[in-house]
Structure 1
Amino acid sequence: MPLLTTADDQRDRFIGDVYALHGGSTLRYASRLLGGDWYLAEDILQEAVLRAWKHASALGMNASEVRPWLWTTVRHLTIDHHRAERRRPADSTALATLDVSVPDPTDRLLRGRLVLDALSELPEQQRQVIGLLYYGRFNAAQAAEHLGIPVGTVKSRSHYALRALRRALEARGAVTDVVR
Structure 2
Amino acid sequence: MTSRDEHLVRALYAEHAAALWSFVVPLVDGDRARAQDVVQETMLRAWRRPEVLGQARGSVRPWLFTVARHLVIDEWRRHRTDRDVPLDAGAEVGADDGTDAVLDSWIVGDALARLSPQHRAVIEQCYFQGRTTADAAAVLGIPEGTVKSRAHYALRALRVALQEMGVTA
> TM-score w.r.t. structure 2 length?
0.47
Give the number of the structure whose residues are more often helix, by fraction.
Answer: 2
> TM-score w.r.t. structure 1 length?
0.44
